[in-house]
């Protein structure tokens, strides 16, 4: 025991510790405390190295059988090619996935979106994991991973992006989530992958950064009617509608939808742009074709082709993620576009994103959302985005980052 000095309970260290213990940040996390993630007690410890927290184990030592579930439940691998399975997943999420703090809205990912999100290049079917009730075969829980190469500083790391963790409302707080997380971890390890990236609205040990959503009204009347936004002070409905009015057509010459033939140029543009951030995906042409080539009602991408040189100089994209409106007489769906990856080299980012708003409005989206990542802060206020409530925390599994990042150092958008 190196420290033989009696500990004075009133030492600053102890006062700080008792204060932290009383704060939510050091709530005990019985599960997360056992996992190779940055722990709250290590925040600020500059002696810890960046990189993997624990080394890979030999594949022969990875547990070969699934983890045990409570006896009424069984594992299932969800085949997203199957219309029937895709429907079951869609319905589980539609009824039980993420809601806002006031329970007014719930994400309603479309089936086409789920197929897109879960079948990128090199995906593993075994990472699309469901839990069924043994007797009724009803799908009651879900978690997924997809493979990605994520660059952290100058290291490209093979990771799993974990998403769509969902436990049926009737089965909450029974510690099913930790079993699901351990099972997806086991199946990722079986593919010799040892790191993961994920986001959550809840604080867990320990975010690499914490982002905020900003919202740009496109259909202010509906947003106010459904309680998504409120009339500002000293504002009337007609003044509000006028405030958010947009031109009918994009203003940038050469602004057009991305096509298959643009994949090489967009890949070059995006790789160059993303290289400046501390954490970003390492996209190749296959990834760009999958993640950014427009897919109707799923993802949209536009670019600026110089009318003179035909160079591709700028790029913007957004994905489509509607929310169910819970308990409104007049509307049942909120149509939301989410800013994805944007690159400006010639067109000012402000003008490029204004054109993105214009095309989103034409496609009948009610709201355009963006996180304060990458260079987004440079246009949010000027383009009349307002800050949302609630935060989105980004995490890495089994990879330590010494200090939390600024949101503008993050070049990663998860779905
Ligand atoms: S984020 C979206 C999460 N989904 C929802 O919010 C939908 C609505 N909510 C639910 O379905 C349930 O409330 C869920 C929890 C399923 C979230 N991420 O079973 P429990 C911890 C990680 O009794 P339930 C997304 O999809 C919690 O702190 N952990 O709780 C990314 C506690 O642990 P501890 C979470 O409410 C997911 C334990 O679970 C989350 O019935 C990334 C309680 O379990 C959360 N969002 O179910 C997953 N919420 O005691 C991690 C709660 O320690 C991936 N918990 O505090 C890690 C990388 C894995 C791969 C690694 C490969 C190398």
Q: Are the C-beta atoms of residues 138 and 132 closer than 8 Å to each other? A: yes
Mean pLDDT for the stretch of residues 272-281: 98
For residues 38 and 400, is the Cβ–Cβ distance under 8 A? yes
Concerning whether 415 is annotated as a catalytic residue, the answer is: yes
What pLDDT sits at residue 26?
60
Query: Average pLDDT in the 134-152 region?
Result: 99
- Structure tokens, 316: 């913007």
Cα–Cα distance measured from residue 22 to residue 14, given in angstroms and rounded to the nearest whole number:
12
Average pLDDT on 132-159 reads: 98
- Angle, nearest 10°, between helix axes 83-96 and 111-118? 110
pLDDT tops 80 at residue 413: yes
The pair of three-digit structure tokens given for residue 257, joined into one six-digit string: 């939808």
Return the CA Rg of the chain. 23
pLDDT value at position 5? 28
- DSSP secondary structure of 79-117: -TTSHHHHHHHHHHHHHHS-B-TTSSEEE---HHHHHHH
Q: What is the mean pLDDT of residues 166-170?
A: 98
**218, 269, 383, 415: the active-site residue:** 415
Distant-in-sequence, close-in-space partners of 24: CB < 8 Å, separation ≥ 6: 203
Give the pLDDT confidence score for residue 402 in this predicted structure: 94
The predicted pLDDT at position 357 comes to: 99
Which residues sit with their C-beta closer than 6 Å to ligand 1?
29-32, 96-98, 160, 162-167, 172-178, 181, 184-185, 188, 194-196, 198, 200, 202, 204, 397-398
Mean pLDDT along residues 62-89: 98
Whether the pLDDT of residue 3 is over 70: the answer is no
Position 338 confidence tier, pLDDT thresholds 50, 70, 90: very high
pLDDT tens-digit readout, 19-44: 444 454 567 999 999 999 999 999 99
Query: Token pair of 261, please?
Result: 């033939």
Residue 4: pLDDT above 50? no
Confidence of residue 16 (pLDDT cuts 50, 70, 90): very low
- Interface ipTM: 1.00
**CA 390 / ligand 1 centre spacing (Å):** 17
pLDDT for res 77: 98
CA count, 13 A, side-chain hemisphere, 118: 27
Q: Please check the confidence at residue 12 and state whether its pLDDT lies above 50.
A: no
Which residues face 77 on adjacent strands?
A: 129
Percent of residues, the chain, with pLDDT higher than 90? 93
Lookup: tokens for 57 = 């184990």
pLDDT value at position 390? 84
Which of 57, 109, 163, 177 to mutate for ligand 1's pocket (most ligand atoms within 8 Å of CB)?
A: 177
Mutate to test the pocket of ligand 1, among 56, 108, 165 (most ligand atoms within 8 A of CB): 165
Averaged over 347-371, what is the pLDDT? 98
The pLDDT value recorded for residue 27 is 75
Centre of ligand 1 from the C-alpha of residue 124, in Å: 21
**What is the mean predicted confidence (pLDDT) over 385-397?**
96
CA of 177 to the centre of ligand 1 (A): 5
Sheet holding 323-325, edge to edge: 105-107, 323-325, 333-334
What values do phi and psi take at 238, rounded to 5? -70, -35
Mean pLDDT of 257-280: 98
What is the average pLDDT score of the chain?
A: 94
Buried-exposed string 270-309: b where 16+ CB fall within 10 A, e elsewhere: bbebbeebbbbbebeeebbbbbbbebeebbbbbbbbeeee
Ligand 1 centroid distance, CA of 219 (Å): 33
Q: Please give the residue that has the higher pLDDT: either 169 or 9.
A: 169
């Amino acid at each position: 025991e190196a420290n033989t000095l009696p500990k004075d309970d009133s030492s600053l260290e102890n006062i700080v510790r008792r204060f932290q213990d009383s704060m939510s940040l050091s709530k005990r996390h019985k599960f997360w405390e056992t996992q190779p993630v940055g722990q709250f007690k290590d925040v600020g410890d500059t002696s810890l190295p960046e990189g993997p927290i624990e080394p890979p184990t030999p594949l022969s030592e990875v547990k070969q059988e699934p983890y045990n579930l409570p006896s009424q439940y069984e594992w299932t691998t969800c085949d997203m090619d199957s219309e029937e399975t895709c429907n079951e997943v869609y319905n589980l999420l539609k009824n039980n996935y993420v809601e806002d703090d006031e329970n007014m809205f719930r994400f309603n990912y479309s089936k086409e979106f789920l197929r897109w999100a879960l079948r990128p290049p090199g995906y593993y079917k075994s990472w699309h994991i469901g839990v069924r009730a043994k007797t009724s075969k009803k799908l009651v829980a879900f978690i997924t991973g997809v493979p990605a190469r994520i660059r952290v500083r100058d290291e490209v790391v093979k990771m799993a992006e974990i998403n769509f963790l969902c436990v049926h409302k009737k089965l909450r707080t029974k510690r099913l989530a930790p079993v699901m997380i351990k099972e997806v971890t086991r199946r990722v390890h079986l593919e010799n992958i040892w790191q993961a990236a994920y986001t959550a609205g809840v604080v867990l040990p320990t975010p690499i950064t914490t982002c905020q959503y900003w919202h740009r009204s496109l259909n202010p009347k509906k947003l106010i009617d459904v309680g998504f936004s409120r009339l500002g002070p000293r504002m009337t409905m007609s003044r509000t509608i006028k405030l958010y009015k947009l031109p009918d057509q994009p203003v940038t010459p050469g602004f057009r939808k991305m096509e298959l033939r643009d994949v090489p140029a967009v890949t070059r543009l995006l790789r160059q742009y993303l290289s400046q951030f501390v954490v970003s995906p390492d996209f190749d042409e296959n990834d760009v074709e999958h993640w950014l080539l427009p897919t109707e009602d799923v993802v949209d991408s536009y670019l600026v082709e110089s009318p003179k040189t035909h160079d591709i100089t700028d790029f913007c994209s957004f994905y489509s993620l509607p929310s169910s409106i819970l308990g409104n007489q007049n509307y049942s769906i909120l149509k939301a576009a989410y800013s994805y990856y944007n690159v400006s080299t010639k067109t000012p980012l402000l003008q490029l994103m204004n054109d993105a708003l214009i095309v989103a409005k034409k496609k009948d989206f009610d709201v355009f959302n963006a996180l304060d990542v990458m260079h987004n802060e440079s246009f949010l206020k000027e383009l009349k985005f307002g800050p949302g409530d609630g935060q989105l925390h980004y995490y890495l599994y089994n990879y330590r980052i010494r200090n939390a990042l600024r949101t503008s150092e993050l070049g990663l958008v998860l779905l």
